[in-house]
Amino acid sequence: MFWRFFSFIACQILGGLAGWYAASFTQAPTSGLVGILAGVVLAGVGWFLLDTSRGAHLLRWLRVGDASEAAMRTGLWGELSDRVRRLIRSREQMTIESQNRLHDFLLALQASPNGVMLLDARGQIEWLNQTAASHFGLDVQRDLRQHLGNLVRDPGFASYFASHDYRGELTMPGRDNTPERPVRLSVHLHPYGAGRLLLLSSDITAVEQAEAMRRDFVANVSHEIRTPLTVLAGFVETLQTLALNDQERARYLDLMAQQAGRMQTLVNDLLTLSRLEGSPPPGASEGISMPTLMRQLEQDARALSAVLNPAADHLHNLVFDSSLTGDIVGAPNELISAMSNLISNAIRYTPSGGEITVRTRLLPDDRAEFSVQDSGPGIAPEHLPRLTERFYRVDRSRSRDTGGTGLGLAIVKHVAQRHGAELKIESTLGKGSVFRIIFPASRVRPFGVGHDPIAGPVGPTH
């Protein structure tokens, strides 16, 4: 400010001196004073014009100027332009930082596994992430500024949206929902700011399916246990109330033992399943010798065939073909359980006299196959995909009559999966079925002789 004042006064003095000097060339007595005055006025106007042009330059720079360079360097205008430039740059810096923060924030919301949508006070979409777009079938660009109520037409959502009571969440069908492939969404609106809404959505299809499966499972287990329990309670009552002779009493006790056995088998299968689900996959330190196992399976199969067909003239025609001489690496108990489940099914569902072939072989690609083929009733194609579900039965009464629990194939599938193996089922109605477990090469020791046959460590011993 001092320099501005100083430059103005200096200009005036110089103008006055110049005027006085110019007047000294004239003869008039008052010309010196007039010259000084004229010089002062002219110098003032000049200073003012120069100053105004610097101010106009600064104004132009402010309108279109580049904030990286000050408009001028000296004087009051220079300082002003420098301060304005710094202010602009610090504001620009702040804007860039807040834009970066907003960008990072939106990226985080974009990465969220849940759908996120921001609605303004009129219910129009301000922003949405890709997950929300796919949940509701929207487009992240095209549908901005659209009223959400016009885009999501589900009646449940429409009444929830219009209710303005967002304390609870809404469960509604997702965009891709079909009767064959249900998709369920959980949607919750949260008011914030001045009438704005935050919408959070999540895909709860898997959770709902798991919950439905859990309910079905509990209902199935209760039903399976209740049936033999009811029969057992009936027999107990009969024994308590009726005077029975020894023969009748023995018959009733036999039937009671059968029912108790049925419950025991069911509980054992349930425990096996829960053990399979809860334990880590079997390692490579154990295994089982297939020729030895096949001998044991054959003995058990012949015994079961005899038990199930006590009055039959001829039992099943059982063929055991063990061309795999090595080991299968894995948990022996699980492998025995899976293989004997398949053999027991074949014997239970194939009428007496039928043919059952159990085979092990090494495939050309070093995988190993265990297969059970029967000439039983076969299974219609529509049942095949569901056979390994717990408690799924094609022939309920045949399964029960022969002591089935409906869990056998679920156990087989679990064991196969835990060993990296595949369970393949082929069946022709009226002709028979083939159940195969195909073990990966990593689970096969083709020449694994010389170890404890059933549960010993795998590998040659010297």
By CB under 6 A, residue 404 contacts ligand ADP: yes
Q: Which of 453, 419, 454 shows the shortest CA–CA distance to 438? A: 419
Residue 330 vs 404, nearer CB to ligand ADP = 404
What's the CA gap between 159 and 168, in Å, rounded? 13
Of the candidate residues 132, 186, 405, 448, the single one contacting ligand ADP (CB under 6 A): 405
Stretch (H or E) spanning 241: helix 205-241
Q: Which of 381, 363, 375 shows the shortest CA–CA distance to 438? A: 363
By CB under 6 A, residue 42 contacts ligand ADP: no
Q: Is 8 exposed, middle or buried (0-12, 13-18, 19+ CB in 10 A)?
A: middle
By CB under 6 A, residue 354 contacts ligand ADP: no
By CB under 6 A, residue 345 contacts ligand ADP: yes
Residue 295 vs 400, nearer CB to ligand ADP = 400
By CB under 6 A, residue 318 contacts ligand ADP: no
Q: Is 372 exposed, middle or buried (0-12, 13-18, 19+ CB in 10 A)?
A: buried
Structure tokens at 376: 């039983």
By CB under 6 A, residue 409 contacts ligand ADP: yes
Structure tokens at 326: 């090595």
By CB under 6 A, residue 413 contacts ligand ADP: no
Least distance (Å) between residue 379 CB and ligand ADP = 5
The pattern of x and - marking residues 419 through 448 that bind ligand ADP according to CB under 6 A reads: --------------x---------------
Phi, psi dihedral angles at 409 (to 5 degrees): -70, -25
By CB under 6 A, residue 349 contacts ligand ADP: yes
The pattern of x and - marking residues 189 through 208 that bind ligand ADP according to CB under 6 A reads: --------------------
Least distance (Å) between residue 219 CB and ligand ADP = 17
Residue 242 vs 380, nearer CB to ligand ADP = 380
By CB under 6 A, residue 346 contacts ligand ADP: yes
> What is the dihedral angle through the alpha carbons of 323, 326, 327, 328, rounded to the nearest 10 degrees?
-50
Instruction: Give the number of residues in contact with ligand ADP, rule: CB under 6 A.
Output: 21
Of the candidate residues 395, 422, 426, 452, the single one contacting ligand ADP (CB under 6 A): 395
> What is the dihedral angle through the alpha carbons of 259, 264, 269, 271, rounded to the nearest 10 degrees?
150
Structure-token match 């610090």, residue found:
90
One-letter identity of residue 381 = P
- Positions of E strands within 160-285: 170-173, 184-192, 196-203
Helix axes 408-418, 332-349, angle to 10 degrees: 140
Residue 404 vs 448, nearer CB to ligand ADP = 404
Residue 393 vs 436, nearer CB to ligand ADP = 393
Residue 19 vs 432, nearer CB to ligand ADP = 432
The length of the chain is 462
Q: What is the CB neighbour count within 10 angstroms for residue 451?
A: 19
Q: What is the CB neighbour count within 10 angstroms for residue 257?
A: 12
Residue 60 vs 223, nearer CB to ligand ADP = 223
The pattern of x and - marking residues 363 through 392 that bind ligand ADP according to CB under 6 A reads: -----------x-xx-x-------x----x
Least distance (Å) between residue 165 CB and ligand ADP = 48
Residues that bind ligand ADP (CB under 6 A): 345-346, 349, 374, 376-377, 379, 387, 392-395, 399, 404-410, 433
